[in-house]
Amino acid sequence: MERISIYQSLIKTFEQKKQKLRSKRLRLSLIRLIVFLTCLAGIYLFWSTTLLVVGFVFVFILAFIVLVKMHAECNRELKKIKLLIEINQNEIKALDGNYNHFKNGVAYKNPEHAFAEDIDLFGEKSFFQFINRTGLSQGEMLLANWLKSNDINNIKDKQNAIKELADHIEFRQNFTAEAKMLENQDELNAIVKALEQHQNFVPKSFRYLGLFFSGLSLAIIGLYAFSIINTMQLLLWIFIGLGITGFYLKKINVLSHITSKAQELFRQYQKLINAVELEHFDSELLKTKQSQLSSKNQKASEAIKSLSKHIDALEQRQNLMVGFVFNAFLLWDLQQSYKIEQWLNTHKNDLKQWFDIMAFFDAQNALANLAYNQTTYTFPSIDHSSKLILDCKSSTHPLIPTTQAVTNDFQVMNEDFLIITGANMAGKSTFLRTVSLMIVMANLGLPVCASHCNYKPIKLITSMRTSDSLSDESSYFFSELSRLKTIIEHLKTDTYFIVLDEILKGTNSHDKAKGSKQFIEKLVNTNSTGIIATHDLSLCELSDQLKQVHNFYFDAEIINDELHFDYKFKKGVCQNMNASFLLKKMGIV
């Protein structure tokens, strides 16, 4: 496949970069060793010359700090390259049908949801696991919320964004790799909330008072150097500086605790934000999100970089000697706290939006990745005025392997109901899930698993799986009735595409047929649209009474004492059932 070849080529490129980075890391380690040995040799040779020894130590410290930073950056790049290799390896596995290594979203399962449980949206082998490529915990949650949202607005804008982002493979993969490197992501919301709620404690006058105090300190140090003032007077000034700082120490410690937790996380997020800022987008949705990464004519990445500098400066207090001297003469902690507070006054209400936009691009990358990988899928043509809800050619379920998939053509007119009959295992339930998932995908702006699709946007609600509950003492039948009541309540306020699979299973056949007919008649009168699968052939008689009801079926044939299915969607009523045959075949009767 073309896509597999592309991923293999990327792996080869990244493997070469990995080898170069490993060589670079080894060279840096050797240089560090050489610098260290050179410093020792210099100290040994010039031990008697104090000035030269001090010079050697000073140069060594500077060189060592630079080399340590270079080594750390090399390690970081190496980690990122390994992630990029893993990303491409996982895509090859996914294209071969193995996507078990992606998170399955089981935490987002909700039996009460309008359709998620019925169509296997979350959990093992789910559609969420099929498309999930998120690197951020917030992005993963947003992707799950999109899937559950039933949002039918701005579908063309969503499609354009996915189409454009699909081609930005380098951006997508780099973003995902950077996102996966973020640590302590779960603390983000708490940190942002704490910064948003921070109450300023440094007086506004400190904008000038801090500089004035620092200037006086320099003057006093000068006076002391020239013996104009004595040691006691100098110590008195030191105590004044420490006393002012001590008065605010508790509040400074609280601010320092929050900002120190934010520091590394924000620095990592800055790389993601910068990547989005630098990318060129043409689609309106992506351009709008990108344009929101600024405030007061300053880019978000620049603003966060500025905050990082202020936090770095405040963190100097962790060095006791530096903290003592700087606070005594410069009121250092207060000056840096004031700068951080001024930054928060300007940007604290922007933080959530900036991080939400990163979650947006993370989730959007997952959708774009599906569009990129599945070259045979098609983007639905959206027509809000069409009389057709769905008009699809060669459709199938995206989770069925291509070699096993049987495609079907179908149409569903607005306000029509399709009654689908068929033998057990003939394909009715799979078809219901195919149509349901197609609606979910189309509403997200995704391409669907079909060669052609016209679509009039509509919300989805289903009743396909119902279970009893021992914990709340509800029977299966009562659970199903509650689900059907929920559907009716939804229809009072909006229009839905309704998908039902064998309703009223928990009662006798006569009562079931009567109740099912009455329920379908009620649905028809709501001007909704839907598909209903059933084994009850009496429901097919409704097509003679209601013009909105049409019969279709999936067939099964017994050939040479074996059961055969063609899984093709056909107009009419099924005549062949297989329960009696299978009971005999398996020796049960």
* Rounded-to-integer distance, Cα 449 and Cα 181, Å: 33
Q: pTM here?
A: 0.90
Provide the 8-state DSSP code for 537.
Answer: G
Beta carbons of 140 and 132 less than 8 angstroms apart: yes
Statement: residue 385 has pLDDT above 90: no
3-state secondary structure of 379: coil
Tens-digit pLDDT profile for residues 339-383: 999 999 999 999 999 999 999 999 999 999 999 999 999 999 999
Residue 395, pLDDT score: 96
Among 191-200, 292-301, 574-583, the least confident range:
574-583
Q: What is the pLDDT of residue 494?
A: 92
| pLDDT above 80 for 148 | yes
User: Can you give the pLDDT at residue 559?
Assistant: 64
d(CA 366, CA 140): 9
Distance CA 340, CA 196 (A): 12
Question: What is the DSSP secondary structure assignment for residue 116, as one 8-state letter?
Answer: T
Q: Which range has the worst mean pLDDT, 38-52, 149-163, 182-196, 546-560?
A: 38-52
The burial class, CB within 10 Å (0-12 / 13-18 / 19+), for 151 is middle
Pairing of strands 298-299, 294-295: antiparallel
pLDDT tens for 257-273 read 999 999 989 999 999 99
Please give the structure tokens belonging to residue 497: 């595409």
Q: What is the DSSP track for 493-519?
A: TS-EEEEEES--TTS-HHHHHHHHHHH
d(CA 178, CA 181): 5
Cα-based distances in Å from 406 to 450, 499, 552, 568, 569: 11, 21, 17, 7, 10
* Those residues with Cβ within 8 angstroms of residue 115's Cβ, 6 or more apart along the chain or in another chain: 121, 150, 436, 440, 460, 461, 462, 499
For residue 481, the model assigns a pLDDT of: 84
Cβ proximity of 46 and 117 under 8 Å: no
* β partners of residue 553: 421, 570
Q: Contact at 8 Å (CB) between 266 and 301?
A: no
Quick one: what percent of the chain has pLDDT higher than 70? Answer: 93
With a cut of 70, say whether residue 581 has pLDDT above it: no
From residue 467, alpha-carbon distances to 117, 472, 505, 559 in Å are 11, 12, 11, 36
More confident residue, 33 or 6: 6
Q: Quick one: what percent of the chain has pLDDT higher than 90?
A: 67
Name the least confident of 21-25, 46-50, 60-64, 227-231. 46-50
Angle at which helices 320-330 and 206-225 cross, to 10°? 100
What is the pLDDT at residue 14?
A: 94
Residue 471 confidence (pLDDT): 39
Q: What is the pLDDT of residue 15?
A: 94
Tens digit of each residue's pLDDT (9 = 90 or more) over 3-21: 999 999 999 999 999 999 8
pLDDT > 70? residue 327: yes
**What average pLDDT does the chain have?**
90
Supply the DSSP symbol for 448.
B
pLDDT band at 32 (very low <50, low <70, confident <90, very high): confident
Q: Where are the beta strands (DSSP E) in 32-183?
A: none
d(CA 52, CA 103): 59
Distance of CA 411 to the CA centre of its chain: 33
Instruction: Reply yes or no on whether the pLDDT at 55 is more than 80.
Output: no
Alpha-carbon span 212 to 206, nearest angstrom: 9
Give the pLDDT of residue 587. Answer: 56
Q: Are strands 381-382 and 417-422 parallel, antiparallel or unpaired?
A: unpaired
pLDDT digits (tens, 9 = 90+) for 462-487: 999 765 444 344 566 778 888 889 99
Q: Rounded to 5, what percent of the chain is helix, strand, coil? A: 60, 10, 30
pLDDT of residue 475: 66
Asked whether the beta carbons of 104 and 116 are under 8 A apart, the reply is no
| CA distances in angstroms from 572 to 103, 408, 514, 541, listed in the order given | 42, 15, 21, 11
